Structure 1
Amino acid sequence: MSEHPLAPRVMSPEEAAARAALRHLVDAYGHGIDRRDWDLLRTLYHDDAVDDHTPYYCGSASGYIDWLPGMMANWRATMHTAFTQLLVLDGDRAEGEVTARAWHLTLDGTRQFVAWGRYADHYERRQGIWRFARRSFILDHAEDLPANIGDDFGSEGVGTGRVGADDPVYSRLGLFGG
């Protein structure tokens, strides 16, 4: 009887390193989207990669990144969060299901759109580096909610998130190189 590909097993150091690299890739994607760091996003995909965010976009990853600025201009702020990541590795190829939440705040700050879903990812390691070969989003649930605007609970002076290189993370984490 063959073992289920998702069943727990003893990992080699090489497999553990590959899994850590793939988690970094997924986390860097969320950072790149939320900070509007298009240059970073381009490094996460192979040149021949595909991104599928149907019905909004499906095609080359390069075309997806070219499309993003216009789409993201509709949102004052976003936060893409990856939760769990299940991976199956096969040499220099891997597949993964990543559960995710994508929060969006409208430009006028009055509405929140929250997409709950999963990414079905195909990864490839080429020249020793793991990148997306194909990324597709599966929507499980969506919420359209009012944004509660009110008391800031004494947060005056706290650094607030911004898109791009003006985000406080870049001044507070110099190695991030914003």
Structure 2
Amino acid sequence: MEVSSDQLLALARFAFVRMDGAWFMSAAKKFGVEAAWQLDVDAWRQFAYVMGKRIRALMFPEPAWPGDFLSAVDIFMKILDIPGRKVTLEGDVISIVVTECEVQKAIAKAGIADCGIVTVETYTQMARGLFGRDMGVLVRHVKNLNQGADRCEVLITRQEAAS
């Protein structure tokens, strides 16, 4: 049986989102929602940092801001199956608008969490993985699908030093 690259990618995306949700729900059942939420934030923080490092190692040995960060975000969003996205750069502010996200859909279906904190940590740590731990970025999640907005919107600005 032949499995195409597109089929494998679709299965990997599905598995990633479902595994993220399954471990969260299991942790919430065993330890409570607050503990599961903190574990989730910590896991995404570490995961995004490692992904930033891996993307750097594979594609951008000497990354340049903002272009290579924008490319890394695009790669990451393709992996996470976030098709409804628009990324723009206006002045020194990167705007990421998402109207369709499989992770958000799973969170909304479960009804017990909000991905806003994880979103902020993911972009912050991906930048640090890509550019080094001292990379300073300010990430603001200004609109949130899980809080009734028509989209998620994140604004990212490079800072002088990490806080």
Which has the larger share of helix? 2
Q: TM-score, normalised by structure 2?
A: 0.34
Greater percentage in strand = 1
Larger relative contact order, structure 1 or 2 (CA cutoff 8 Å, min sep 6) = 2
Bigger radius of gyration, 1 or 2?
Answer: 1
Q: Normalising to structure 1: TM-score of the pair?
A: 0.32
